Each structure stands twice: as structure tokens, then as C-alpha cells.
Chains A and B, each alone.
Chain A
């Protein structure tokens, strides 16, 4: 089976530092990583390939240096990687991103399963997966924590707030996965060597026959008019004394605020 995994290059939040004066996040110079949920999607794809054979193709849209994360996915075990990169793809909202990715996926063709992480940790939108499913007219199952493939069908456990569903769909289908699904493997030494030599395919809008009016900033419906750092919390009240005294005071405070 052919599995396409869509990944995003994101800043590593584990390395975020804050400006001591303004309490704002310092975004410059953050190292980039594969979006953590997308690593789960790659792992899920590799496990399915081990079980059913076939190939795993990793696709991303982003700046030229997103090639680094695609190489990492090859090091994990993906067969090949494709990067959509061009100035005209830039500043896309989720609508334009979904269009660009779906056009690239059509060009790859003959896929059985599309896997995404449940959301990216920088934008937190969770909208691109379902958007791609719509544009390719595929069944979608979001928030998946287990996948079984048999007889041309996929069966998945979809996590809801207070329960989970067992959902079945015909292939091809699009799934987005949560962290619980697996523990992503580390790259093997052989994988790292392979990744070094691998060629990452670069596609421009012309290569995927994308309509220019539907990609990048031109194809976006949402426009960001402002970004700002939220006011930091101030005035932590330190409670001290014996444990019993602290418990009394804390209870009174929480009562006062109607939270207990």
C-alpha cells in the first residue's frame, strides 16, 4: 500500500526562552523539528508498511530548510520525500495549505492512506487534515489512537472528550493521529546514512498544476491583522506557614473565588 504522510516543520517549543524584561517569547533562532504529532503519523505509517508492505512518502510544504525535517523522516525509514517550496506558496492559511497539499497528493496519485498529526504545535489549528480530505473527497477520521488495515478498509479508534469510537472507512482515507498511538522510533544509523544521500523532490506550483489564485497569501481567506504577546500573569501569592496553616488559607482563597 502507498501511504502519504504530511508533516510540518515547527519551532522546538522545548527550547523556547522568554525575554526577562517583557516576558515575551523569543522566537528568533529556535531550532526546527518535525511537528511531534507528525512524527507519530510517520511511525504509524512505517508500522503499517512493515505489516502490509508498500511505500511511505513524506510530503511537506514550507521554506527550503524544511528539507531537513524531510531528511529526518527518511532517516526514520520513509521511502521518499517531497517538499513544496516556493515564494508563491508562502503565507498560506489553512484553506490555501490544504489546497496546495491536496494538489500535490493528486499528482503523487495511487495512494491508499493519508496520515497527518492531529495538529501542529505552532498554529494549533487542526484544520489542514480535514481540509485536504474535503478537497480530495475522502473519508476522514480525526484524533486516531489506533489503526488497523484489512480488506481494503481501515478501522480506527477515534478519541472523543469522554469516550472513543471505533470507526471504519473504505480506503483511500485520511486519518489524523494523536500522541497515544505510538512511540516514534529513533533514526537508525543506516537510516541516517540513507537520508544524507537521499534526494528530496522539490515541487513548485507549476509542477503540481496548482491554480495560483488558490495558493499562498493570494489563496488565503484569513488574514492575520495583529499578533501580540498576552499579558503575563502577575502577583503570585506565596503561601507559607505550617502545612495546616497553608491548607486553611488556600481553602479560604479558593472558596472566595468560587472555585471550590
Chain B
């Protein structure tokens, strides 16, 4: 909106000359702005600097519209009737945010368990920090499908009007949230690693990595509601569950869901350890690089990974060489991982690899070359031939872990 402060305006018409859109007239010695013609370019504000009679206020949607939205929601992702860790992590951060805004924290659960009390999930959500749980237990929601989940969630959001909705940045959250946001025509920030509240403006302040973590951006959604974000798994801390915590559990039954709402059909779900590896959720990853020299030597990596309960990762060079399938690849064109422990063996640390793993909590780097860039991000650096040191690490760790 653009305003003329009548008490300051002297009708000098400097603004009229400054306006290239012909949107300002002087009427009774006061500037009058034609809002239809005005483009909010600000030229008149500059021209009127001396008198300070014109100002622009940024406000696109009606304020009433925005203030109708109350409460913070988290999408409580479940698979096969069990809550995902990230749902509990969202409650952890959501609790702080809701308290800062003095609003309630609700979890919304979509599932198709068909058993009373949804396999205990609503209670678990209350114990982990939720004030309220809205749930729909419907056979068509048994397996995640974007269109029907989006329909159910959009109906709930339009009914209860939450101010903020958070999702886990999982393969489900990142498929569902953008669809819901586009339908609601609101903003969505992807894969956030930091969330805070600007109390004065009542805004969710979202921080996220871009360029694979080489650049951080802080983002707000000023004029659209709900403010939505997906949140990176393994980053937020969950609360210690308290069985004494109580809350309200609301089953929503009157939202119509039909098979026709689904335009995709899941023919099969395959758990195949040979062609999938859950690097994103792994706590420990041991990765091999070009230094391994040949495909067979990945067994050195696998042995160490097995001893410490880790998953096997790989650099792009080894995948491109055909030593290991691409679903093991860590890096910008592979997977972005953030385990508690990342052990890089024979990986020089090209930027494309660092981008995929540099946010790991603890990084151990083994490389012959003391100048390898991987040492710039390592917590512990070992300048040595991986063939000398890695088998010794495996044996030592096996022995020490075996004793306990």
C-alpha cells in the first residue's frame, strides 16, 4: 500500500513530476495517488524525501487473512503404523517454536492401521511434546500416496487454519509438502536446518543450506499462510518422552476420501538390500574413494563398516569407474548425508563430494596426500596409506567393541 500523509504534504507536485506512470494528481493542494496506475516503484517517495509525506507499506495479503491462522502443526510421518524419527524431532523443535509464539503444538497423523488407537501413535506424539493430535485412520491412507495424502491434509489445514506446518524432509515429506503448498498457494522452504521465531513479526525464520551447504540462506514467508517448511532429518533434537504428559486426541472422520482420489497406484514395495542402502538415515558411514584402486578393495571398507554398524558410501569417481553401484554415492549428484560419524578412506575431497557430507557430526579422513582437501573438513586426519591403516582400525575396533 502507498500512503500520503496529508499533514506533511504541501502540494509541491515534485512527486507528480517524478511519477512516470502518471499516477499522482494534486487535488486541493494535496497529492492523491491512483492505486490502479501506481506500480509502487518508489520514485515519488524519493522525490518527497524533504517532506516525507509519501510512504509505502509492504503488505500484500489482507492482515485479517493472515491473523486467522493459529497454531503450529507437524506432519507426523508414519510408515507401516510406526512413527518416523523425524516426526518426533519435529515435535522437539516445534515445542520451542510454539512456546515462543504462545500457540499450541499439534501433530497431524494420516494412517491406515485399522486398529483402535492407531497402534499407539497418537499417545506417543503427546508424550513427545504435542498438545493435540488430529488423526485420520482410513484404509486408503495405509500406504503413502501423494494425491490422497495431499487431499486429506489440505482439507484439515483449510478447516483448522494452522499458522505454521512442518514436515520431515524425507522422500515422503518432500513429495507431499510442495504439492500441498502449491494447492494452498503458500510458501514452502525446503530442507531447513535451523528454525526460529521473530516474535515481533510473528514469523517463522527458516535457515537452510544451498549449494550443498556452502551457502546458507535465511528465509521468511511474510504474507502467506500457513508458513510451511520441510526439515532435515537428524538435525533437530527430540524431547525425552514423558508418559505423564496429556493432550487432546481428535479423530477426524468426516473428510471424504475415495479410491478415485488416487491417480497413482503402488503395485509393489520392494525391500532389497542389494539395490538400496539407507545412507540418509545411517548414523555411521564408511566411504571409499579412488584410493581403493579397484572394485574388489571395497571389501576393506565393508569390513570396517560392518564392525561399527555403518553403511558403505562411495565417491563419484568409484561409481563412475563401475566399482560400486550409484546408490552408494555420496555427494552432490548422489546423496547428501549427515551421519554422526563419517569415515572417508582414500577420498581426496572434491567439492562435489564435500557438499554431500561436510555437515556430518564427526569426520575421519584417511588419505596418503597430506594436502588432500578432505582434511579441511575433517575432525580427525590420518595421513597414511588406507591399505595400512583401515584393516588395523577394523581389527582394533572389533576387539574393543567385542569386549563390551
Could you tell me which A residues sit within 8 Å of B by CB distance?
13-14, 16, 25, 36-37, 93-95, 98, 121-131, 133-135, 138-143, 155, 158-170, 173, 179-180, 220-230, 232-233, 236-240, 243-244, 246-248, 250-251, 253-254, 257, 259-260
Contacts and interface: CB of A to CB of B under 8 A. Distances in A.
B358 to A, nearest CB: 7
B382 A169 contact: no
Residue of A14, A220, A228, A254 ringed by the most chain B CB atoms within 10 A: A254
A170 B263 contact: yes
A135 B382 CA distance: 52
Contact of B276 (A159, A227, A238, A248): A159
A229 B362 CA distance: 20
Contacts of A138: 263
B281 interface: yes
Contact of A130 (B175, B205, B215, B379): B175
**B interface: dominant SS:** mixed
A1 B41 CA distance: 46
Lowest 6 A-B CB distances belong to which pairs?
A221-B187, A247-B396, A125-B190, A134-B182, A130-B178, A127-B178
A223 B222 contact: yes
Interface stretch (B10-18, B116-124, B370-378): B370-378
Contact of A166 (B266, B276, B308): B266
Contacts of A225: 205, 218-220
Given A160-B171, A223-B219, A259-B284, A123 B264 contact: no
B179 A247 contact: no
Contacts of A134: 150, 178-179, 182-183
Nearest to A234: B376
A167 B181 contact: no
A167 B214 CA distance: 35
* A contact patch SS: mixed
Given A14-B351, A239-B380, A163 B270 contact: yes
Q: In the complex, which range does the number of interface residues on chain B fall in?
A: 35 or more
Given A140-B146, A165-B269, A233-B377, A221 B186 contact: yes
Contact of A125 (B182, B191, B269): B191
Most chain B C-beta atoms within 10 Å of own C-beta, residue among A14, A121, A244, A260? A260
A163 B283 CA distance: 18
Contact of B271 (A93, A163, A222, A237): A163
B223 interface: yes
Contacts of A243: 384, 388-389, 392
Contacts of B362: 254, 257, 259
B104 interface: no
A253 B381 CA distance: 12
B42 to A, nearest CB: 14
B219 A16 contact: no
B81 to A, nearest CB: 16
A64 to B, nearest CB: 23
Contact of B352 (A14, A95, A129, A223): A14
B5 interface: no
20 contacts: A37-B333, A124-B209, A126-B174, A126-B178, A126-B190, A127-B174, A127-B190, A128-B178, A130-B182, A131-B181, A140-B264, A162-B281, A180-B327, A221-B186, A222-B188, A227-B218, A230-B214, A237-B381, A247-B392, A247-B397
